[in-house]
Amino acid sequence: MTQTKMKIKKDDEVIVNAGKDKGKKGKVLKTLPEKSRLIVEGVNVSKKHQKPTQFAAGGIQEKEMSIHISNVSLIDPKEDKPTRVGYKTTKDGNKVRFAKRSGETIDS
Query: CA-CA-CA-CA torsion for 39, 45, 50, 55, nearest 10 degrees?
Result: 50
28 in any annotated domain: yes
86 in any annotated domain: no
- pLDDT at residue 46 in the model: 96
Write the single-letter amino acid at 69.
I
36 in any annotated domain: yes
Q: What percent of the chain has pLDDT over 70?
A: 97
User: How many domains in the chain?
Assistant: 1
- pLDDT tens digits for 49-61? 999 999 988 999 9
Evaluate whether 87 touches 81 at the Cβ level (below 8 Å). no
- pLDDT at residue 108 in the model: 63
8 in any annotated domain: no
- The model's pTM: 0.84
Residue 82, H or E segment: strand 82-83
In terms of residue numbers, what domain contains 36?
13-76
Residue 4 has pLDDT above 90, yes or no: no
- pLDDT at residue 2 in the model: 67
Q: What is the CATH number of the domain that holds 22?
A: 2.30.30.30
* Phi, psi torsion values for 98, nearest 5 degrees: -140, 155
Q: What percent of the chain has pLDDT over 90?
A: 82
- pLDDT tens digits for 20-72? 999 999 999 999 999 999 999 999 999 999 999 999 889 999 999 999 999 99
26 in any annotated domain: yes
